[in-house]
Amino acid sequence: MTYGSFPGARPRRLRTTPTMRRMVAETRLHPADLILPAFVREGVAEPVPIQAMPGVVQHSLDTLRKAAVEAVSAGVSGIMLFGVPEDEKKDAAGTAGTDPDGILQVAIRAVKEEVGDDLVIMSDLCLDEYTDHGHCGVLDDQGRVDNDATLERYAEMAQVQADAGVHVVGPSGMMDGQVGVIRDALDQTGHEDVSILAYTAKYSSAFYGPFREAVGSSLRGDRKTYQQDPANTRESMRELALDLDEGADMVMVKPAGPYLDILAKVAASVDVPVAAYQISGEYAMIEAAAEKGWIERDRAILETLTGIKRAGAHMILTYWATEVAKGL
Ligand code: PBG
């Protein structure tokens, strides 16, 4: 619509002042949207910096407790724990992952003791942190990831993590049937109240790179036979239907930034809460570019998180959770 040579409509009016822009903003980040992923390393007294993730560390048990307390005061909703066992404890079956005194279980108990129910305590339910070959499951005699043998390991992991007091388990290995097997294992061991946050659409991504350093993984090969092909959308809808059918309480899309279309589609089609995981490589890119002075760090962080929420995420896992929550 134009009158003469002037615009008849002026959308810029709603952008004139900061308060005007704030008033008409359609998407607002809130500390309660945020979940902090945290790494805890066995046998260290001091936290160990992760080179490819400046500002993120492998916590000692002591600094993990402090990070949990800090997250609570900032208003963050949850913490997703990843265990980093001592190297000599890694083996083909990922035994440390089902040891009641394994590092993740110890970490769950420590955080629970420190903050109780003030944070939703979540745990990565996957074998890659504990296997010497770095895969998310156990291997068959030909070196392939054995789906059904892995499910048995996941069932045991679910039980020990729940015994340690976790509120939510996060199966991230992309084995077929994992949500159903874990639900059964939890129910049969008296853990009906432990929720499952299913990594529903988990893509085989180059952006997991820095995570490998974070958990000290020496993966041989790749995860393409179990994680999804970045080219696919329909496959995610199928994974979603299966996870819901098997009993997922919440579903997740991962990575976040390069998969906002998938996130929007998932969020539009389910009635359970939807999480998105802004992963290690998404974190590293912004930190690296900011360090070089190429982008404005804080604006870039908020822009990515706003985009993820706008696309439909109810919860966002981000390594910046505490920092961002404090600033909001
Ligand atoms: C698997 C797992 C991974 C991440 C979370 N859970 C690694 C992978 O699938 O290769 C990646 C998280 C990140 O990159 O920040 N245990």
For the stretch 123-179, pLDDT in tens is: 999 999 999 999 999 999 999 999 999 999 999 999 999 999 999 999 999 999 999
pLDDT of residue 1: 55
Question: What's the average model confidence in pLDDT over 192-212?
Answer: 97
CB of 211 within 6 A of ligand 1: the answer is yes
* Percent of the chain with pLDDT strictly greater than 70: 99
pLDDT of residue 220: 81
Q: What is the CA radius of gyration of the chain?
A: 21
Nearest CA residue ID for atom 16, ligand 1 = 126
CB of 282 within 6 A of ligand 1: the answer is no
CB of 146 within 6 A of ligand 1: the answer is no
**Contact at 8 Å (CB) between 204 and 158?**
no
Q: Please report the domains of the chain, with CATH numbers, ordered by start residue.
A: 28-327 (3.20.20.70)
pLDDT of residue 2: 59
Q: Which residue has the higher pLDDT, 101 or 2?
A: 101
Q: How far is the CA of 287 from the centre of ligand 1 (A)?
A: 19
pLDDT of residue 3: 64
pLDDT of residue 218: 78
Beta bridge partners of 254: 202
Interatomic CA distance for residues 141 and 220, integer angstroms: 16
Residues with Cβ within 8 Å of 327's Cβ and at least 6 positions away in sequence, in order, are 298
The set of catalytic residues is 202, 254
pLDDT of residue 6: 86
52 burial (CB, 10 Å; 0-12 / 13-18 / 19+) is middle
* Percent of the chain with pLDDT strictly greater than 90: 96
Task: Give the mean pLDDT of the chain.
Answer: 97
Checking if the pLDDT of 4 tops 90, the result is: no
Nearest CA residue ID for atom 6, ligand 1 = 172
Q: How far is the CA of 129 from the centre of ligand 1 (A)?
A: 9
Q: What is the pLDDT of residues 269-322, one digit of tens each?
A: 999 999 999 999 999 999 999 999 999 999 999 999 999 999 999 999 999 999
CB of 279 within 6 A of ligand 1: the answer is yes
CB of 226 within 6 A of ligand 1: the answer is no
Q: How far is the CA of 208 from the centre of ligand 1 (A)?
A: 6
Q: What is the pLDDT of residues 77-116, one digit of tens each?
A: 999 999 999 999 999 999 999 999 999 999 999 999 999 9
Angle at 81 between CA 240 and CA 113, to 5 degrees: 125
Q: How far is the CA of 3 from the centre of ligand 1 (A)?
A: 56
Question: What's the average model confidence in pLDDT over 209-220?
Answer: 90
Q: What is the pLDDT of residues 163-186, one digit of tens each?
A: 999 999 999 999 999 999 999 999
Pocket test for ligand 1, best of 131, 153, 172 (most atoms within 8 A of CB): 172
Nearest CA residue ID for atom 5, ligand 1 = 172
User: Closest ligand 1 atom to the C-alpha of 37?
Assistant: 15
The ipTM value here is 0.97
